[in-house]
Amino acid sequence: MIEGGRILEEGSHAALLERKGRYHALYTEQSLRDSVLGLHSDQV
């Protein structure tokens, strides 16, 4: 996870989600938004 040109977190998708850091928050927010809008990953 890069923010402001700095590496904040690194690892696999599963590991980053497990840490519940910034990546987890961003992924969860995007997933929720897509769910509310009725979007699927193949439509984004």
Q: Over the stretch 8-31, which tens digit does the pLDDT of each residue have?
A: 999 999 999 999 999 999 999 998
Dihedral of CA 12/14/20/26: which sign?
A: positive
Which residues are bridge partners to 2 per DSSP?
7
Q: Domain map of the chain by residue range?
A: 11-37
Provide the terminal-to-terminal Cα distance of the chain, rounded to the nearest Å. 20
Better-scored residue on pLDDT, 35 or 24: 24
Strands 2-3 and 6-7, sheet pairing: antiparallel
- Give this prediction's pTM: 0.70
Contact 40, 34 (CB under 8 A): yes
- What is the predicted pLDDT for the residue at 25? 96
Q: What are phi and psi of 2, to 5 degrees?
A: -110, 135
